[in-house]
Amino acid sequence: MGGPVRRLKVTAETAALVRSLHPHLKKKVKAALQTILHDTLAGKALKDELEGLRSFRVGRIRIIYRLAGREVVEVVAVGPRRTIYEETLRLLSKEK
């Protein structure tokens, strides 16, 4: 009966950021999130301090996510490649 049903876990901050994007880019990001839900290994595995996370490219934007259990894909951050990795590190250090 198809693959596992997965759901997205997105922070209110990230959801607001996606809503504020240009409509064309927002559409691309939403399509990318669907791709990630269907194939959790679609993004590139990150290394070093960001190990355990994956990065999915949407033009200049990156979606940083991780698997939280078997059915949940947690979106950690969304943003431009230029700053997203530092931002993700900052968010992760806040979590601890």
Q: What is the pLDDT of residue 62?
A: 96
CATH of domain 7-95: 3.30.2310.20
Q: Where are the domains of the chain?
A: 7-95
DSSP-derived secondary structure letter, 3: S
Determine the pLDDT at residue 91. 87
State residue 30's pLDDT score: 94
Identify the pLDDT of residue 72. Answer: 93
Q: Encode burial over 62-86: b for 16+ CB neighbours within 10 A, e otherwise.
A: bbbbbeeeeeebbbbbbbeeeebbe
pLDDT at residue 53 in the model: 96
Predicted pLDDT of residue 1: 40
State the CB neighbour count (10 A cutoff) for residue 28.
Answer: 15
The DSSP output letter for 78 is: E
The DSSP bridge partners found for residue 67 are 73
The residue ranges of the chain whose pLDDT is under 70 are 1-5, 96
Tokens of 73: 């894909």
